[in-house]
Amino acid sequence: MCFSSDEMSSQVRLRLLPSERCLYDKPIQVKVSHLKSRQVVSIKASSTDERGVLFSSSATYRADENGEIDLVRDASLSGSYVGVEPMGLLTTLKPNIVNNLFVKDKALEPHMVKFSVHDEEEQDRMLAEATNERFLMADGVSRVSVEEGNFHGVLFTPPGKGPFPAVLDLCVMMSEKRAALLADKGFVVLTVPVFNEQPVNVKMLHLDPFEEAITFLLQQPKVGSKQIGIVSKSKSADVALSLAAFVPGVEAVVWINGCSANTVLPLFYKTQQILPALMFDTKKLIPTQSGAFIAKYATDDPLKEENRATLIPIEQANTHFLFVASEDDLGWDSKAYMIEMEERLKHHGKKNFESVCYPKAGHFLEPPYGPFCFSSLNWFLKKPAVWGGGPRAHAAAEVHLWKKIQEFLRSHVICDLVQNNAKL
């Protein structure tokens, strides 16, 4: 609880329930009380990301006859969003510098969000404030940096004896957020970046370091599964498909808004090139008024005869797939790639996949309740890109998908108690 003043309890109160401290992927209830009956106020939120970029949001609310506002119940009249959006102040946080993604990648540091209530007539007059600490690591989860052979990453292990299923979190550039949160759900998770440096400096990609990561993960004492699950998005999604097709040990793959072909860089395994790269044409980028570009139609068509060699042979994988596509993804033509994969698997008599589509969501599907990203730098294009979607639909998709990912991994990455006891 937080009071605007230490004086009397009649002062305006801003409460974050059930607590001001919570996990990143948990919703909170924002309540204001001790206002005048029907008083109009603005409620603001602000947060600074790991690069020091300030993000902020604001919404105008009218108190009820008892002088109370409850964001779960009440509609915003104007501001960053309109209508009933209990977590709208978080999901609509916008950067003060255009074309910026909210960077929250380090698991040891909480996402700090400052909430404040302001008199609508005197905007400089703050009536109450409170700070929400949103943790990426739950109590008892352990975090260990890993540098083994040709890969580096971070290992997150849940509390308790286990055995736990093993998950490889493939991120394009290093991020601990999704892995740390998944460990709280009962998975041993190793997060490994596809790129250790800016992708523009890389000439080819090798699957071998990721195979080393899989081997390392399966050797962890609390791991009880014989194979692993992989969670991936964007460029890392085609790497995940390639691991399923060429490398043993992959039981399940979550593919989010990626391509069905190997993109950008030629792919090698055991010193041999296994897939050429599907490229993009910068002349097909569509400029927008914000200065960011729509890249959806710039990638070459993998189904054209001259590009078919880039298609990843997922039909040869003994893997369960969860394909996830945002229909308003403006970074990739994700839904088209998903349909291509579904049809190819069906053609080969395979039923080892399920799919989910989100009609008005954009490219960056992340764990829920983070700021919606309209546009940010695309590392491969070296230009800002528009990612598509709208805050409300995108936020709803993230809540639904987060549960879906956990259910999918639990149902397919199964623990073997005998194997676990043999290790110990």
| Residue 376 near residue 386 (C-beta atoms within 8 A) | no
Active-site residue, selected from the candidate residues 329, 333, 334, 394: 329
pLDDT for the residue numbered 9: 40
225 pLDDT more than 90: yes
59 strand-pairing partners: 43, 79
How do residues 230-288 score in pLDDT, each as one tens digit? 999 999 999 999 999 999 999 999 999 999 999 999 999 999 999 999 999 999 999 99
How do residues 75-125 score in pLDDT, each as one tens digit? 999 999 999 999 999 999 999 999 999 999 999 999 999 999 999 888 779
How confident is residue 10, by pLDDT bands cut at 50, 70 and 90?
A: low
| Residue 104 near residue 177 (C-beta atoms within 8 A) | yes
363 catalytic residue (yes or no): yes
In three state form, how does the secondary structure of 242-290 look? HHHHHCCCEEEEEEECCCCECECCCEEECCEEEECCECECHHHCEECCC
How far is residue 160's CA from residue 214's CA, in Å, rounded to a whole number? 22
pLDDT for the residue numbered 417: 62
| Residue 322 near residue 406 (C-beta atoms within 8 A) | no
The domain segmentation of the chain, as residue ranges, is 2-135, 142-423
The one-letter code for the residue type at 44 is K
Question: Cβ neighbours of residue 86 under 8 Å, at least 6 residues apart?
Answer: 27, 29, 30, 71, 72
How confident is residue 382, by pLDDT bands cut at 50, 70 and 90?
A: confident
At which residue do the structure tokens 């949160």 appear?
181
Instruction: Supply φ then ψ for residue 220, to 5 degrees.
Output: -65, 135
Angstrom distances, CA of residue 200 to CA of 278, 367, 381, 382, 422:
15, 27, 9, 8, 45
Closest CA to 187 of 259, 242, 254, 238: 254
How do residues 326-372 score in pLDDT, each as one tens digit? 999 999 999 999 999 999 999 999 999 999 999 999 999 999 999 99
Q: Which residues of 36-70 are buried (b: 16+ CB within 10 A; e: fewer)?
A: eeebebbbbbbbebeeeeebbbbbbbebeeeebbb
Q: What is the mean pLDDT of the chain?
A: 94
The CATH architecture to which 2-135 belongs is: Sandwich (2.60)
8 pLDDT more than 60: no
Active-site residue, selected from the candidate residues 56, 76, 234, 376: 234
Active-site residue, selected from the candidate residues 34, 320, 363, 412: 363
Question: Cβ neighbours of residue 97 under 8 Å, at least 6 residues apart?
Answer: 53
46 catalytic residue (yes or no): no
How far is residue 240's CA from residue 233's CA, in Å, rounded to a whole number? 9
The CATH architecture to which 142-423 belongs is: 3-Layer(aba) Sandwich (3.40)
Instruction: Report DSSP letters for 43-76, one per residue.
Output: EEEEEE-TTS-EEEEEEEEE--TTS-EETTTPPB
What is the SS3 assignment for 405? helix
Structure tokens at 5: 């003043």
152 catalytic residue (yes or no): no
